[in-house]
Structure 1
Amino acid sequence: MPLPNGFTVTLDRGTRVLDDGRTLLGGQPTRLMRLTPRASALLSGRALCVRDADSAFLADRLLATGMANPQLTALPAPATRGDIVPSCTYVIPVRDRSEQLARLLACIPSGSPVIVVDDASLAPERVAAVAAEHGARLLPLPVNVGPAAARNAGLRQVTTLHVAFVDSDIVLPPQTVPALMRHFADPSVAMAVPRITALTTDSSHGWISRYEHVRSSLDLGAQPASVRPGSPVSWVPSACIVARVDALLAAGGFDESLRVGEDVDLCWRLVESGRRIRYEPAVHAAHEHRAHLVDWLRRKTDYGTGAHPLAVRHPRDTATALLAPWSATLLVAVAAQRRWSLPVAAALWTTATLRIARTLHGTAHPLREAARLTGGGAVNSLAQGGALLTRHWWPATAAGCLISRRVRRAAAVAAVADVALEYRRNRSGGMDPFRYAVARRLDDLAYGAGVWLSAAKGRSTAALRPRIAVRARRPRR
């Protein structure tokens, strides 16, 4: 089905308009799109409104390549099945947490179908009382099966067109779900997800909570995006998602064998099947983060333990770093810290720039645009290399520091540069640099420990290996 008339998209902030609108450069991965005069005339500044088959085709192409995002305020209101039955059911998996459940249920609009899936609570009577008080349907499970299976159990009871999975530790603004449902005007969209922000509570004033306010693992940033492996937003958390019921059933729902990473797995399976997932930060859901150090470290480690199961299921998409061949070689040259390192790195950058400039032949400033792309690629590769040293590979880095001055120097530079850049970006959190640096390093240590534990348990290095993307050397046409 084509995009409906009135559907409006806006070029992504990373998409550059060249040659007076005749050429677009951007997307994920980066590519060059040359527009015919008729196609170029369809763009009004950086926006495109669907009015006929041609504009629908171009808008769909821009969405598919990641060059544009839907304009939320211009999308049509969500459809309903008749005048009585709402088109979305709320499914809430919970294990105990009766107070948080009551807080969430109070946020859900009156009259909305709600299914509370009690995943074998230790005090089931409290969960049942809260569900009854708010008019929610209770689905008790006899044994604890985990969040993935609990969501699937609720999904099988849904009779509406859409389902909203919301964790019990979420506070949901009333406009979030209706706004996300607007994205389903695009028939290819299977799931839409809000930005997950930090909930302020009486226990959220410590330094860990302040760090989570600005650097939560669940907060994927302020820019809208199409979710796909290898892109800046490669997955979305299941803390709050809205999805088409038929799309989830066709995909088999969540993988019930996964206790961690089930949301990543579902995202990637939907994308592999040709569906789209939208990340929409214009609306949000507030999450009650861990406020105590031990609980916080345990949760970060749990996130890391999902690495090996995901690597088994999605070997191409699970990588500690994604590098083009030239940028990987540049990273190795810089890390070697030899006299020849900088000349070799400069030669690699120059060669890559000239190759990409040839691809951009015919545009107004091919060399300048190529230099911008390769400059960004070099910075990105260095940042990924630093993350390997301080996050994904830190046990190996620690061992290397015992025997090598160069490893010590590289690890120190990576750690300081990472904290400096991240603190400058997130300084609104009100943390002093020292506490921010400590929290940042603890975050990396806990996550990296989980990755290595999963690799050891799986007896495989698949979760630790970077991937060299051969086709990422130059923009695609």
Structure 2
Amino acid sequence: MSAPSSAALPPGFAVVLDRQTRRVDNGRALLGGAPTTHLLRLKPRARQMLRGCILRVHDAASAALAERLLDLALAHPLVADLSPPSDARCTYVIPVRDRPDQLNRLLGSIPAGSEVIVVDDASEDPASIEKVVAQHGARIVCLPRNVGPAGARNAGLRLVRTPFVAFVDSDIVLHEDTVPTLLRHFSDPRTAVAVPRITGLRTAQSQTWIGRFEQSRSSLDLGARPASVRPGSYVSWVSTACLVARVSAIGDGFDERMRVGEDVDFGWRAVARGWRVRFEPAVAAAHEHRSRFGDWLVRKAEYGTGAHPLAERHPQSVAPAILPPWSAALTVALLAQRRWSLPVAALIFTGTAVRISRKLDVENAAALGARLAGGGVVNALQQAGALITRHWWPVTVAGCLVSRRVRRAAAVAAVADVVLEYGTEYARGGIDLDPVRYGVARRLDDLAYGAGVWFSAARGRSVAALLPEIRRAGAPAHPVKPVVRGR
């Protein structure tokens, strides 16, 4: 991948503060960001540039402030107000292996007159693929042997002659505004990749209990909050089920040695080179999730097998949990379940809250420090629960055989996140499944993924993908929890 352009944000470019960014010290500073919480002090002129929660670029100073807000993830592009790049031509590249019906459905959702390249990755029935492609007037490339999704995408990328490329899997259905909206992000010269929210496609087959679970909690659905995608953030990776990229930024494309996790590697390499990767949930692409139990379980395990290859390529980014020393110590104290556990945890919390408040140096610093420390505690316990039930479940099972304390911790971890998730999603009307089957599917998802991680680690003879990282957080606060469902 190439290095990003040094060009400034163009006049008229607008950013909006993230929903979690807080104005503190009577508006003289902003607190938020990811993957680490930042305190950004604003000079009087900078405060005047912010109109409510929106900043529009009109000169060099406002462009510099917008860049800073984007770099710290304190704000995101206001995509509805952005103009598309001057040359917004885009080629659709679709890797496919059989599945002619799904391909036909996808091609029917692509705007007429678009440049479309279908890459047949050695289908068992190539004639059916060729027939569908001909019906839609697309271009087809037939590969003599199966090379996997990364290799198929690269074969199509080599034929692209437009400034932008949209990689779309054959089991996707596009909304008419998905790709045009994502293209608006490229008015930022440092944006290399933009992806939509991946939602579930409702079909007759998706009405199984597994299908309904996927509708509410798919590994590919990264939520409703816009994000600057980067390792360790609340959105740390994006799927290539639907992805728009700047051709000049992505070089040769995907690592063809990877059959799983190539999408994570692709985005992380772009970020490492200084590019921005944007997650834009204002638009969506509908994905036909696996709804048959066996296929679904195998796919979850396959996701886990990408852990070791990613650990080899990105050793600083694959830890299943990232904790600052204080929250790691507090978590260990609570998991010990001794008489001294709560007093020690309270002492650690109090000391951390005081330390944070002193570094903030703003009005109401004590209350704000306690709030941030409390968020750090919740974050640490959530990550500990994920380790117990997901990444380390074989160790948990072994521990349950010999320790009552491990059994208690495992029981709490197994139930708590299901109750919280189900209650939240049910209140939003996003769940069409009873809590028992939701909970069973949630735990099976974790068991399958964790099994894939352990298989990957054993095959690679390395535990790098299983080890949490104790990372000293930068002032003034704590790392935020990554939301990584499928990886």
Q: TM-score range by the shorter chain?
A: over 0.9
Shift of 1:432: 0.9
Are 2:45 and 1:38 equivalent residues in the alignment?
A: yes
Check whether the contact 2:359–2:475 (CA below 8 A) recurs between aligned residues: no
Counterpart Cα distance in 1 of 2:422 and 2:203: 23
2:322 and 2:424 map into 1 onto residues whose CA distance is 23
Structure 2 CA distance for partners of 1:17 and 1:473, relative to 1, 3 Å: closer
How much has 1:273 moved relative to structure 2?
0.2
- In 1: Cα distance, 2:349 partner to 2:161 partner: 56
Instruction: Determine the structure 1 residue equivalent to 2:173.
Output: 171
Pair 1:50-2:22 in alignment: no
Counterpart Cα distance in 2 of 1:454 and 1:336: 30
Aligned to 1:262: 262
Q: TM-score with structure 1 length normalisation?
A: 0.97
**1:155 matched residue in structure 2:** 157
How far apart in 2 are the matches of 1:164 and 1:78? Answer: 15
**1:388 paired to 2:395:** no
Contact 2:192 2:275 in 1 (8 A): yes
Cα distance in structure 1, aligned partners of 2:222 and 2:64: 29
Query: What is the count of residue pairs matched by the alignment?
Result: 468
Counterpart code for 2:391: H
The letter for the 2-side match of 1:306 is: G
8 Å contact from structure 1 (residues 215, 426) kept in 2: no
Q: Deviations over 1:25-44 (max 9, x none)?
A: 11111111111111111111
1:59 and 2:58 aligned: no
- How many angstroms apart in 2 are the aligned matches of 1:312 and 1:327? 27
* Alpha-carbon distance between aligned partners in 2 of 1:12 and 1:471, rounded to the nearest angstrom: 21
2:233 matches 1:231: yes
1:82-101 maps to which residues of 2 (within 5 A)?
87-101=89-103
| Structure 2 contact 39–476 (Cα < 8 Å) conserved | no
Q: Does 1:325 align with 2:325?
A: yes
Letter in 1 for 2:118: V
* 1:19 Cα deviation from its structure 2 partner: 2.3
Secondary structure of 1:204's counterpart equals: helix
Following superposition, the deviation at residue 473 of structure 1 comes to 6.2
Distance 1:279 1:326 in 2: 31
How large is the Cα RMSD of the aligned pairs?
1.0
Q: CA separation in 1, counterparts of 2:475 and 2:443?
A: 32
CA displacement at 1:20 relative to structure 2: 2.7
Question: 2:412 corresponds to which residue?
Answer: 413
TM-score, normalization: structure 2? 0.95
SS in 1 for 2:312: helix
Residue 401 of structure 1 and its aligned partner are, at CA, apart by 0.4
Unaligned residue ranges in structure 2 (runs of 5+): 1-6, 479-487
Matched position secondary structure for 1:21: coil
Corresponding position of 2:79:
72
Query: What's the CA shift for 1:474?
Result: 3.2
Counterpart-to-counterpart distance in 2, 1:120 and 1:181: 31
Sequence identity percentage: 63
Please say if residues 324 and 472 of structure 1, whose CA atoms lie closer than 8 Å, have aligned partners that are also in contact.
Answer: no
Q: Deviations over 1:249-305 (max 9, x none)?
A: 1xx310100000000001111000000010000000000000100000000000000
- Corresponding residue number in structure 1 for 2:211: 209
Paired residue for 1:219? 221
Mapped to 2, the partners of 1:425 and 1:126 lie a distance apart of 44
Runs of 4+ in structure 1 deviating by more than 4 angstroms, as ranges, are none
Q: Counterpart of 2:114?
A: 112
Letter in 2 for 1:298: V
Question: What CA distance in whole angstroms lies between the structure 2 residues aligned with 1:343 and 1:70?
Answer: 45
Instruction: Give me the whole-angstrom Cα distance separating, in 1, the residues matched to 2:28 and 2:48.
Output: 9
Q: 1:280: which partner in 2?
A: 280
**Does the 8 A contact of 1:78 with 1:178 survive in 2?**
no
Which residue does the alignment assign to 2:4?
A: none
Moved more, 161-170 or 204-213: 204-213
Superposed displacement of residue 79, structure 1 = 2.5
